[in-house]
Each structure stands twice: as structure tokens, then as C-alpha cells.
Amino acid sequence: MNICIFASGAGSNFQAILDAKSKGIIHSNINLLITNNSKCGAVEIAESNYIDVIHISRKVYPHLDYVQYLNLFISALRKYKINLIVLAGYMKKIENEIVREYKNRIINIHPALLPSFGGENMYGINVHNAVIESGVKVSGLTIHFVNEEYDRGKIIYQKCVEIDDTDDAVSLQKKILNYEHESYPEVIKRIENGLIKIGD
Ligand code: GRF
């Protein structure tokens, strides 16, 4: 497979995917990083691994209309012959046209057990704050296909993580992130092996 990573932040999941490739756990090509944030950690990771980076942000292209803007994504994905898009801490909503063109070919990782603790403002530490405040004893991570609604696409993998009495949002975030780094490559491996079907 040819994979494009979409990321906006530190990029630790992106790094974990690259590590899994260098250990031979996964075999796909990681061809491209698309980011809305040219100064994020994920860009540094891509550059130090000689992976092409395309920076697409409304701030850079304020003069483009919707179709032209959308075409920046579509033409990049086609040029690199991408067949799997992996969202790894990407802070923007994927445009509906891209979701349709890459139906069941876009996966996302969310640091809680969906369908709880998901939705538009549920990102980063907000998720873990909400989990801790709710008093639940178990959280975890979810990997799902992306559809037109935030965090509502078909779930393909989940892992539970116990919440200890001593956990706060920050410690929980750290704990779950470590599991994310194992789980995301595992799901990519399952896709490569045909155990999880992608596409139509
Ligand atoms: C992860 O917690 C992931 O679940 C969420 O965004 C965070 C990205 O972290 N979607 P990183 O940039 O991979 O370190």
C-alpha cells in the first residue's frame, strides 16, 4: 500500500508507524505527509526520514475557492497513488468529497472508547479531562474509518486501558498514547494482511 499520513501535532503516532516499518512489522510505503501546520513535530519527523511533506492550510491559500482548495488534497493523493490515508493527530475535518473518494480508506485514531467521548471538541487533553470528570474506570483507544461525521465512522479496533485512582488527565493521556503506538501499526498490519478490508 501507499500511505499518506495526515498530522498536525507532535507526530508520535507517525513515528511509531515509521518504527514499525523499519522493524519489518509493516511493509507499506509511507509516501507522503499532509499537514495544516508547517511547524509541527510531524514535519520534522517526515523531513528527517526523507518523506515528502505537503502543507495545505486555508491560511496559505486564502484566495482559492472551495473546489480549488479541495483539489490540492485530491491531486496530491492521486500523484502519490495513495490507497490508505492514516490520520495521526490531524486537527482538521476531512472534506466530504475526500471521504467519498477514499471511502473506507481513511483511518483515524482516537484516544478514548468511541462512541463515548468523541465529537467536534473532543481532542487532545479535552478527551482525557472529560473521561476523568465522568468517573468511568476504563478508557482506551479507538481506530475507526472516517466518514462525514466527527468520530462516527465504523470502528475497526479498540483497546481498553484501566484508569487508576491516581490517574489524572495527563497521566491517562500518556498511558493511552503508549498503547496507541502499538495499536496503530497493528491495524495497518491487519489491513496489509487482508484481515481488515479497506475500500468498497
Ligand atoms: C493522539 O492522542 C491521537 O489519538 C489523537 O491525536 C493524538 C496525536 O498525537 N488523534 P501524536 O501527534 O501522534 O503524538
Q: Quick one: DSSP state of residue 173?
A: H
Protein residue closest via CA to atom 2 of ligand 1: 111
Protein residue closest via CA to atom 5 of ligand 1: 89
Residue 163 lies in a domain: yes
Domain harbouring 141, CATH code: 3.40.50.170
Which of these is catalytic: 27, 55, 63, 110?
Answer: 110
Amino acid at 70: L
| Predicted TM-score (pTM) of this structure | 0.97
**How far is C-alpha 131 from the geometric centre of its chain's CA atoms?**
20
* Alpha carbon distance 2, 10 (integer Å): 22
For the chain, the domain total comes to 1
Tell me the CA–centroid distance for residue 13 and ligand 1, in Å: 6
| pLDDT per residue as tens, the chain (200 positions) | 999 999 999 999 999 999 999 999 999 999 999 999 999 999 999 999 999 999 999 999 999 999 999 999 999 999 999 999 999 999 999 999 999 999 999 999 999 999 999 999 999 999 999 999 999 999 999 999 999 999 999 999 999 999 999 999 999 999 999 999 999 999 999 999 999 999 98
Residue 199 lies in a domain: no
Interaxial angle between packed helices 125-134 and 169-192, expressed in degrees from 0 to 180 and rounded to the nearest 10: 110
Residue 141 lies in a domain: yes
* Alpha carbon distance 53, 45 (integer Å): 10
Protein residue closest via CA to atom 8 of ligand 1: 89
* Alpha carbon distance 59, 77 (integer Å): 20
Which of 117, 177, 187 most suits a substitution to test ligand 1, by most atoms within 8 Å of the C-beta? Answer: 177
Tell me which residue range forms the domain holding 31. 2-192
